[in-house]
Structure 1
């Protein structure tokens, strides 16, 4: 037995060596030349630490280490023989996860790789599910769903937070080093890391060899081979008769790109087939009408490699119209690209271009300006006395020198940008304005107080401008491939063709049904359901319809006609007029009860399977939809407040993140001492949360009166309003921009704000965190963090013919699998900003939240409650607003501090009178 174990150990060791040798040989076809590799770190060298789960397995025929649990770190040691500057590449295999890019931290000897950040991302690979376009019953082409392609890839690392097209470099001395990888998001398998010299790309040299083949062909850009993100789906353009293919009335998915294809690192690949090996010319029918006055850039790869340096940055100038861009030099002489006989893969990657260094410098200046602004308001406050001299040049070290230095920096970058753009137009006017202001402040420091708002606005505008300059949107219609001795394919609509096209489009607009989505079923209405989607977008509605047609209808044989309705008032009017749907989805949570007491809805708990379905949700999700012990909606979404903290500012001020309201007020004192503030927007759910945390409720047990005579409710009202009277919090504010500058380092908002910060404020990565709302410490030491929630639900009308079929659809729609599919598909199409806030607990785990965010959300979600909805709830909301304004506005506008108990009691009596009147009306006329 001992002998067998020894043989097994030798075999495993041999396999590891063979695997390492195999990887080295394979590097040539993956962009890493073996002769440039200084150190290869195979998967077998890594060990796990701090809870990381690392397991060895074989993926697609290659042995690797799987890093699955997004926790801890893995490390390995390696030797460098020659001191120098190196880049790092990794051969990886994406494992099944939530469909987002893989994100991880990388350091060598405890120091980050790269100057700007140690955070990196590895793209996944996606493809369209069907190559041929499908059409709905109205003749419109349907967008294909996206599937992930699991394959090995080798990439050289470039920080996703860096403003650069260059790879991250690291200086290494001769000797032994330690590499550490910390997974942040999504699982992946590692075959090896490579430490190697940067690859060089040679200048273009015109080949002596000639291609005698006569060939000219266009390849539709919307027919992709692969892409790095699922949001890179085909789009359509009906504005021009020359787009290929097109229809003046029906939707034809005839282009790709637009605003979805703008983030550096995104790439799209096409399969190009040619009859013979040789050199070919390339052309692109494109439109860049998204970023005014500048060019956007792409990097060309042919069969995985950049053919020559001129392909590193291909510029597409701004134009309102479509144009053909030939891949050629300034004299119009085409660059010849070698293609193999048969299939070739062309790839376009988004790059920033030469402007990257300037943008990086500007963003660094913006960060410094934000810090300078915070230093100023810590002395002056956000609304300084313009007649007072704050002696800022004495209070703030190097005040005028910093303004002058930053103005010089920005002015130099503006000149460089104008040089690169080859014009002196208004593209740098944002920089010019703040430079002028900064120079004037440096000369006259005492004027900063009267210009503080404008200074802050200019910083915010400059930050947004720099972010927009990083984005590189482009739309492609088709790609042309042709030999020098043939003509390039060109599609251009003449004047009369365009006139006819426009006329057909105009006439077609009178007959097109813009409300119905996708296929329309006819026949016996007992087997077809009329479903309205309320207040959502067309993209979301098309996704819903696609899931219905691909899943629900084939399984059940029930047809669903889906229509898009602008708002809930249309639904209510149509329902009460007898013209409503069978089912309405995405209905606000205050609507079901208002329809239920009018006998317009079907009670849902009577149906088979309801109890098992209910277990997939928190009980709080059903509270707003309950009326007289019946349930009249199934929950779709559930939204609740979270706390957002600028952790860098808190660390700078020495403040702990608050868990209780007492700690919150301690933090507020520190924040306000530095003339900063806190963001608590007017929101009734905030008041409701404070009531719940005190163990009380908004309504009495019988739900016939508001509970305003309860001292705990009065205390909650006082705490809410005193934030604006006693503590002077702003009543209205822009949380996003003020959080970015740091002047509002603490604020409350929903999960949507998390996604906005993550996507739209990349400069704040690592400088903020999301936490549950503070609570009240109980006698047993626990903290009551209960918060109120809102949401949307799906309802069944009373007049539906086949109620079992309707409930079958409703229960299918809110089930974990379907809610997860919908949430993932919405994000695939619209990006992380559209992340779905599902009420289904099981579906939530399938959505692409990071591990840290998921943990925080689940902690908050477990404490979520909701307020019951009652007939006349509109009057409750209205009078709570009146009570809030009476206290807060009277104090802010007139300096009058009203007694909060008296105010609350006064409006409580008015509410109770209306609720009593409503109950009498229901009893008399409806029941």
Structure 2
């Protein structure tokens, strides 16, 4: 006891000493000005369809804002003049509007406009389904989209939190509320906050025109479309604003102040904008050692167009100041930009681009909405209820982003030109590829103007770096990346004869810059509260002093000895379920279990988090095991089953009926020695993802077979593009050639069969003969840039492109992966994917209760509700890829994507799990490295790999009683043989 207190005193003293020398608010140099208009960059005229910024930079002669249409000109949905397909549209009841069912199609209206000029377009709309995704559509004027952004207009759904304040669980922790969609007509001027916080402009000449709405993937209700002249807000120091404010009732000083907890939202645009539990001094409300959802946003409130809205009341007409307590420690030395509207409008120009500066000490700051001279903006409000909305805007950095993309394309084209001349198409981040190092190249002879081309790129990167000074607090990571790329390119320019032997530097430069293509536009910001106050009122204290921070830390230190930080549920009569997922998933599972499973069956359940899957192993060794485990990786069930640790699920009388929920390829992974040890929870997949805009430009169609891939490769590579396949995933090639990983008795490797050797050679030839990229740090970045416009990707990459690359909306599709054509003309497309499962431990004394729980958890209704609840919490990018086939079909997938994914899943087949089988994946990777990186003979390499695999398998077979010590076979195994795609029915 004395020894324990000695350690506690030492820890306590360390904490006090640490904070005694900590500066509460370290000084930082604020270099940029959030109010200042960033200096403009020269914008190049587009070769094809321009971006919005390019379109504005090259306007029609004499173009200006129209002024005669100050009131909206409404075009009711019923007044449409034409539509593409009446099957895709239908009128709503009571003449309320029209329903667009989603999918390709369009509906248009005719409009007469009084003058030449720019106009804004607005829509009155509502969602027509229960999906959690943004609504997307396109706009065409006289049959043409004037700029790229017109093809991907985003309309937001409206959500509220299901309850406030959050309800608490048995440990007195808050439960995160779900998001509930608020249905009803929504009126919006079409805006793209990534390029401009003002509504998008559309140019019309005087007279009659057509405005066409092109359907997106989602069903949407349309009540009306309208056109109006732009009404841009003016600066707070303009004569008009000064006159308006002089007429307001302006108290010289006041005492009234209202603090609004940021987590108490009235509406928000996305389910992914979530309440957060933050523990720090002066946080409101305090956590007191518990989970308290007391802030909102952070990294989940970062994408352009996302917004949060709050309601508040003021006691009388007058002038008020508004401010926010925030944390911006996410984007190094950058501002997080927001557009602020009051009652749906920005009263001042300054509110369209409010910058929240970075704080390097991870401490909270306060920001009062101010003008360019840092004087609080006088917000004129009438007595009663008002709304304030904060919208993410990345428009200040969009010119830099477009400049980055422009230069990446230039660098890629220059690299490809050099590769054509040198004959080196092997991209590598480590070596120069297959260039003859002894040959001297005079590139300037073959590429006239090489020096000038590189100089233009270097100068452009330097200008982009300089522009960042206007939109950053200090030297940012992005700026450093631009400067580093400029230096590397300058070194290549100054030593042109070394370029062919240093082509890997081009790949490095593109990768380093490319990482910013999806991070630059992110604008994360965490909010604690906001305030509305009369001028002169006492404002809340935001920054804590030394004693407050020390007291807070000491309080947390002492509570750590009494609080159950793991929140372990331990009801003695309950079944214990360990879940290898994060806390929010576990909380949802527990809530769902209490509300449905326990309520219906009377069986209590303890759901507990297992942060590390190694704890399953440690629990098995120590004898402290749960009854059920969820989130178990594919290899673990058979590993445990061979040691007698898991229950054979096929012994339950209704197992065969339950097994019908899943595909045979998923179930087979958990089959061993005529028994079945797990039920699949989630099941991944692979698809072919491709950029339709680039493929159309090159005249290419998605390939059906690997032969088709090889035929399209020359066109791709000669134009500076690449095809991506996961370098270390050889399963599709082996299975598509008819190979098996193991012999039918499960005792030996079958990778030395002729079919396996053919598949292995085709796999490695893709990199050796056809120069596909051997390493791609981020396919998503390259796909977004466009230099790798097509590739085989998994479920996670598909979701990332769908939800994290909004600018690509309508410019990509998916297809089944390429396969091998058979003699009868059919195409075999075998592929695998990540699996996780649920198991029952053999030592459980509640076997039947555990089985009832596992059946309930994997049922269609439960999996569907859980998937929807997770999306309501985190957003659609957290799609639950359930292995339950019926539930999978009912989740909100885009219709055409669902057809493609379902077609590919018919060909799902993974590697069987056998004793010693872990050597198979390891030695396949070694074999790939030897053949691709060291250029060894593939057949010789595979023969040695099989020898090594069989040696380890035999050792494990002796351990588990399949062979005796002399190597004689005592019994064989049965491996499920899956030779045909699953078309439904009994597994």
Q: Could you tell me how far apart the structure 1 residues matched to 2:149 and 2:102 are?
A: 26
CA shift, 1:415, in A, is 2.9
Matched, 1:625 2:670: yes
Matched, 1:507 2:545: no
Contact 1:127 1:225 in 2 (8 A): yes
Q: Could you tell me how far apart the structure 2 residues matched to 1:141 and 1:70 are?
A: 41
Distance 1:768 1:449, change over 3 A: farther
Match of residue 702, structure 2, among 649, 654, 657:
657
Matched, 1:40 2:80: no
Q: Could you tell me how far apart the structure 1 residues matched to 2:96 and 2:448 are?
A: 58
Contact 2:689 2:792 in 1 (8 A): yes
Question: 1:157 maps to what in 2?
Answer: 190
Match of residue 297, structure 2, among 212, 234, 257:
257
1:429 partner SS = helix
Contact 2:179 2:873 in 1 (8 A): no
Contact 1:254 1:477 in 2 (8 A): yes
Deviations 1:572-613 (A, max 9, x none): 331343211010001112222233343332333454654444
Contact 1:97 1:186 in 2 (8 A): no
Distance 1:159 1:479, change over 3 A: closer
Matched, 1:734 2:785: no
CA RMSD of aligned residues (A): 3.4
Question: 2:175 maps to what in 1?
Answer: 142
Question: 2:579 maps to what in 1?
Answer: 533
Q: Could you tell me how far apart the structure 2 residues matched to 1:492 and 1:62 are?
A: 56
Deviates more, 1:853-862 or 1:483-492: 483-492
Distance 1:442 1:880, change over 3 A: closer
Q: Could you tell me how far apart the structure 2 residues matched to 1:828 and 1:135 are?
A: 19
Matched, 1:869 2:913: yes
Contact 1:76 1:178 in 2 (8 A): yes
Distance 1:485 1:895, change over 3 A: closer
Structure-to-structure mapping, 1:172-571, within 5 angstroms: 172-204=204-236, 205=242, 206-210=245-249, 214-238=255-279, 240-319=280-359, 320-352=362-394, 354-380=396-422, 381=424, 382=427, 383=432, 384-385=435-436, 388=439, 390-393=441-444, 395-396=446-447, 398-421=449-472, 428-439=479-490, 441-442=492-493, 444-465=495-516, 467-516=518-567, 520=569, 522-523=571-572, 525=573, 528-534=574-580, 536-571=581-616
Distance 1:902 1:306, change over 3 A: closer
CA shift, 1:432, in A, is 2.7
Contact 1:41 1:78 in 2 (8 A): no
1:171 partner SS = strand
Contact 1:883 1:903 in 2 (8 A): no
Distance 1:314 1:46, change over 3 A: same
If the length of structure 2 is used for normalisation, what is the TM-score?
0.82
Q: Could you tell me how far apart the structure 2 residues matched to 1:379 and 1:712 are?
A: 38
CA shift, 1:375, in A, is 3.4
Matched, 1:111 2:111: no
Contact 1:370 1:741 in 2 (8 A): no
Question: 2:59 maps to what in 1?
Answer: none
Question: 1:906 maps to what in 2?
Answer: 947
CA shift, 1:244, in A, is 0.8
Match of residue 719, structure 1, among 756, 759, 762:
762
Question: 1:95 maps to what in 2?
Answer: 128
Q: Could you tell me how far apart the structure 1 residues matched to 2:155 and 2:316 are?
A: 35
Contact 1:593 1:625 in 2 (8 A): yes
Name the count of aligned residue pairs.
881
Deviations 1:276-332 (A, max 9, x none): 333322121122111222222222211222222222222222223212212233555
Question: 2:648 maps to what in 1?
Answer: 603
Question: 2:203 maps to what in 1?
Answer: 171
CA shift, 1:146, in A, is 1.2
Distance 1:447 1:37, change over 3 A: farther
Structure-to-structure mapping, 1:125-136, within 5 angstroms: 125-136=158-169
Question: 1:807 maps to what in 2?
Answer: 851
2:289 partner SS = coil
CA shift, 1:806, in A, is 1.9
Distance 1:576 1:169, change over 3 A: same
1:496 partner SS = helix
If the length of structure 1 is used for normalisation, what is the TM-score?
0.87
CA shift, 1:130, in A, is 0.7
Deviates more, 1:693-702 or 1:243-252: 693-702
Deviates more, 1:477-486 or 1:252-261: 477-486
Q: Unaligned 5+ residue runs, structure 1?
A: 1-31
Q: Could you tell me how far apart the structure 2 residues matched to 1:763 and 1:444 are?
A: 38
Q: Could you tell me how far apart the structure 1 residues matched to 2:942 and 2:541 are?
A: 76
CA shift, 1:123, in A, is 0.5
Matched, 1:920 2:971: no
CA shift, 1:891, in A, is 6.8
Question: 1:693 maps to what in 2?
Answer: 736
Question: 2:11 maps to what in 1?
Answer: none
1:787 partner SS = coil
Question: 2:624 maps to what in 1?
Answer: 579
CA shift, 1:174, in A, is 3.1
CA shift, 1:683, in A, is 4.2
Deviations 1:37-68 (A, max 9, x none): 3563534416542575211114xx87010112
Distance 1:46 1:545, change over 3 A: farther
Q: Could you tell me how far apart the structure 1 residues matched to 2:950 and 2:516 are?
A: 52
Matched, 1:785 2:829: yes
Question: 2:10 maps to what in 1?
Answer: none
Match of residue 616, structure 1, among 650, 653, 661:
661
Q: Could you tell me how far apart the structure 2 residues matched to 1:479 and 1:630 are?
A: 60
Distance 1:834 1:371, change over 3 A: farther
Question: 1:776 maps to what in 2?
Answer: 820
Q: Could you tell me how far apart the structure 1 residues matched to 2:751 and 2:505 are?
A: 44
Q: Could you tell me how far apart the structure 2 residues matched to 1:37 and 1:366 are?
A: 42
Contact 2:585 2:870 in 1 (8 A): yes
Q: Unaligned 5+ residue runs, structure 2?
A: 1-66, 237-241, 965-969, 974-987
Contact 1:277 1:340 in 2 (8 A): yes
Distance 1:908 1:190, change over 3 A: same
Q: Could you tell me how far apart the structure 2 residues matched to 1:911 and 1:717 are?
A: 21
Q: Could you tell me how far apart the structure 1 residues matched to 2:752 and 2:500 are?
A: 47
Deviations 1:847-890 (A, max 9, x none): 443333322211111222234333x0xx2231453255347516
Q: Could you tell me how far apart the structure 2 residues matched to 1:732 and 1:427 are?
A: 23
Q: Could you tell me how far apart the structure 1 residues matched to 2:776 and 2:877 are?
A: 21
CA shift, 1:715, in A, is 2.9
CA shift, 1:191, in A, is 0.6
CA shift, 1:920, in A, is 2.1
CA shift, 1:144, in A, is 0.9
Distance 1:329 1:54, change over 3 A: same
Deviates more, 1:295-304 or 1:376-385: 376-385
Distance 1:435 1:718, change over 3 A: closer
1:176 partner SS = strand
1:788 partner SS = coil
Q: Could you tell me how far apart the structure 2 residues matched to 1:356 and 1:728 are?
A: 34
1:185 partner SS = coil
Contact 1:516 1:561 in 2 (8 A): no
Match of residue 635, structure 1, among 671, 680, 683:
680
